Amino acid sequence: MHDLKRFLDEKAEHYNDVSFIENDPISIPHSFSIKQDREIIGFFTATLAWGQRKTIISKCRDLASRLGNEPYRFVMEYGAEDLRDLLGFKHRTFNDTDLLYFVDYLRRHYSQHESLEDAFLPDGRFSSAEDSLISFEHNFFNHPDAPRRTRKHVATPARNATCKRLNMFLRWMVRDDAKGVDFGLWKRIPQSALICPVDLHVDRTARRLGLITRKQTDWKTALELTMNLRQLDPDDPAKYDFALFGLSVSS
C-alpha cells in the first residue's frame, strides 16, 4: 500500500493541475465567477457529462448561451418567452423536457436557499454522501409535474447507481486544495466524506490496481473503491479521481 500510495499521490499531483481544465467539462463552470452561476452550470455540466469530452463541452457552451450566459439570473427571472430559447436542446437522451424541469426545480430551490449545497443537506446537516444523494434525488422529484422520463438523469444510491456524475459534481464543489481545478465553494460537506466518481476510465484503472474487486459496477463498487482510497488519504480520497482517470486516458 505504501508503494501504491506514493505512485497514486504522484499521479494525482501531476493531473490535478490547472492545465487539466481546458479540455475537461469542468472548464464550463470555470468560465463563470458568481457562486450560483458556477453551481447551476456545474450541475448541468455534470449531468450532461457522458460521451466524448469535446462534445460535452460544446453542448454545455450551447446550454450556457441559451441561459444568456447568466444561469442564476435566468433561473430566477425567466418568463415564458425565455423558456422558448431552451426548446430543441438535446444531448444524448437529455432533452428540452428534462431541461425545463431542471430549470423549474432550480428556481424553486433558489427561491428558498442561497446555495445549491442546501439541496444536499437533509434537515440542514450533513451525515453521509449516501444520505445526501438519496435525499437530493427524492426532493428533486418531489413535485406533481416531475416528468417520469427525467428520473434517469438524476441517480441515487437507493437504486444502487454509481452516481458518478453527482459524485463528480460534489467533488467540484467541495474539494479545496488550492490547486485551481476544483472550486471548494461548499464548506458544510467535508471532503473526507466524498465518494470517488466511478466512470469507465476510473473503473478500469482501479481494477488493474486491485482497488476494486466487486464484479459489478454500482454504488457498492463506488463505496469499495473509496474505502480503499481512504486508506491512502483519509482526508481527501476523491483526489485520486485525477490519478485514476488520468492514467486511463493517457495509457
Spatial distance between the Cα atoms of 190 and 167, rounded to a whole number of angstroms = 13
CB atoms within 10 A of CB 143: 12
Q: How many domains does the chain have?
A: 1
Residue-by-residue pLDDT tens, the chain, 251 positions: 789 999 999 999 999 999 999 999 999 999 999 999 999 999 999 999 999 999 999 999 999 999 999 999 999 999 999 999 999 999 999 999 999 999 999 999 999 999 999 999 999 999 999 999 999 999 999 999 999 999 999 999 999 999 999 999 999 999 999 999 999 999 999 999 999 999 999 999 999 999 999 999 999 999 999 999 999 999 999 999 999 999 998 87
CB of 240 closer than 8 Å to CB of 8: yes
For residue 115, the surrounding DSSP H or E stretch is none
Q: What is the DSSP letter of 195?
A: P
Domain of residue 193, residue span: 2-250
How distant, in Å, are the alpha carbons of 72, 145, 150, 162 from that of 137?
21, 15, 11, 14
Note the pLDDT of residue 1. 74
Q: Please give the model's pTM, rounded to 2 decimal places.
A: 0.97
Spatial distance between the Cα atoms of 14 and 186, rounded to a whole number of angstroms = 24
Alpha carbon 43 to chain centroid distance?
A: 6
Note the pLDDT of residue 2. 81
Position 91: which residue type?
Answer: H
Note the pLDDT of residue 37. 98
Spatial distance between the Cα atoms of 113 and 160, rounded to a whole number of angstroms = 29
Note the pLDDT of residue 249. 87
CB of 43 closer than 8 Å to CB of 116: yes
Note the pLDDT of residue 22. 96
Q: What is the DSSP letter of 189?
A: S
From start to end of 44-119, where are the E strands? 90-91, 94-95
Spatial distance between the Cα atoms of 85 and 131, rounded to a whole number of angstroms = 35
Q: At CB < 8 A and 24+ separation, what contacts does 136-142 make?
A: 136/166, 140/105
Alpha carbon 3 to chain centroid distance?
A: 30
CB of 194 closer than 8 Å to CB of 129: yes
Of the candidates 129, 168, 201, the one whose C-alpha atom is nearest the C-alpha of residue 47 is: 168
Q: Collapse the DSSP code of 95 into the 3-class scheme (helix H, G, I; strand E, B; otherwise coil) and give the result.
A: strand
